[in-house]
Every structure is written in C-alpha cells, then in structure tokens.
Amino acid sequence: MNSNKLPSYYHKFVVNQFNTEAYEVKLAIEVLWSGWELDDTAWIIEVNNNFHCVVSHHGSPTICQEEWLLEKINQYAQVTADTIKAIELLRSNKPSL
C-alpha cells in the first residue's frame, strides 16, 4: 500500500487539526482489525518537519501515538501465534481410513 494523498475526509481533518495544508504523506500502512471492516489505513504525515500518524477510529479521523501502533503489533503477533497453533493442530490430524 502506497498512497501519497489522503482521502478528502482525512485531508480536511489534517488541515483543521494542524491549521495548514502544508503536509506530506510519507507512508500509508494497512491496519488489520478483528471484527471491524472500516479503519483499514494509517498514514504517517509530515507537518512542519514533524511526523504524525493519522488513523480512523470508528469512521472519525484522529491522531494516534506510537503506543497505538505498538499495540497493533502485539495484536498481530497474537493472531499470528494463534494461526500457527491452528495450523499445527490441523497438521497433527491422523489420516482418515
């Protein structure tokens, strides 16, 4: 995923939040959610030589901190570990007669 433009709704949020249109999208990453079909992208933007993370929270844009991204990594790691365990259990099945 690589988008150098924010969707219009997020652009308006950033302009209102930082009182400037002088920002640059540096990175867009996919955000994985369990049970929520929206809010699937986070954007790292640069405003006045500072980086900020813009995300959607239940359809409303907000600024997140590093801790939010670290929590997402923890969630991804748990889901990955659970998925590996599920695969191991499936592989342990005895062949059907």
pLDDT recorded at residue 3: 64
What's phi and psi for 21, nearest 5 deg? -100, 0
User: Tens digit of pLDDT for each residue in 31-63?
Assistant: 777 656 667 889 999 999 999 999 988 888 999
Model confidence band, residue 97 (pLDDT cutoffs 50, 70, 90)? low
| pLDDT reading at 92 higher than 80 | yes
Question: How many helices, marked H, and strands, marked E, lie in the chain?
Answer: 2, 4
Beta bridge partners of 50: 47
Instruction: Answer for the pair 61, 54: CB distance below 8 angstroms, yes or no.
Output: yes
User: Tens digit of pLDDT for each residue in 60-86?
Assistant: 899 999 999 999 899 899 889 988 988
d(CA 42, CA 28): 6
d(CA 53, CA 17): 12
Q: What is the pTM of this model?
A: 0.68
